[in-house]
Amino acid sequence: MMRGMGNMQGMMKQVQKMQKEMVAAQASLNEKEFMGEATNGYVKVVATGDRKIKEITIDPAIIDPEDAEMLQDLTAMAMNDVLAKIEKETEAVMGKYTKGLPGF
């Protein structure tokens, strides 16, 4: 009976260790910066891993008052690119903790 309790305590310690590692990994990911780009880098978006936009850069050469829709499209493209990069990195970093868990 005591042996079973020792195993349970060992498992609890492993779970606590893994939980601490997950929190640290998520915090590190949240601070990391990612850059997304639209066609030829005309629009660039920098965001942190927690999906907060830090910067949007637009090449002045593509600013055409007669074609605001193109600029809107390029901005959306760059934002989607950066979000996809964040998602990919999040899955790579956090996937080892959540793989096989229900809901992940």
Tens of pLDDT along the chain (104 residues) come to: 456 667 888 888 888 998 999 999 999 999 999 999 999 999 999 999 999 999 999 999 999 999 999 999 999 999 999 999 999 999 999 888 877 666 65
Nearest CA among 102, 42, 47 for reference residue 77? 42
Q: Domain for residue 104, yes or no?
A: no
Count of domains observed in the chain:
1
Q: Cβ atoms within 10 A of the Cβ of 3, count?
A: 7
- Let me know: does 54 contact 44? Beta carbons within 8 Å: no
Q: How far apart are CA 92 and CA 97, in angstroms?
A: 10
Q: Domain for residue 103, yes or no?
A: no
Q: Domain for residue 19, yes or no?
A: yes
Q: Domain for residue 73, yes or no?
A: yes
Assign residue 30 the CATH number of its domain: 3.30.1310.10
The reported pTM is 0.77
Say which DSSP state 101 is in: S
Start-end of H helices in the chain: 2-31, 68-98
Q: Which pLDDT belongs to residue 104? A: 57
Q: Domain for residue 14, yes or no?
A: yes
Q: Domain for residue 34, yes or no?
A: yes
- Let me know: does 46 contact 33? Beta carbons within 8 Å: yes
**Residue 85 domain boundaries:** 2-98
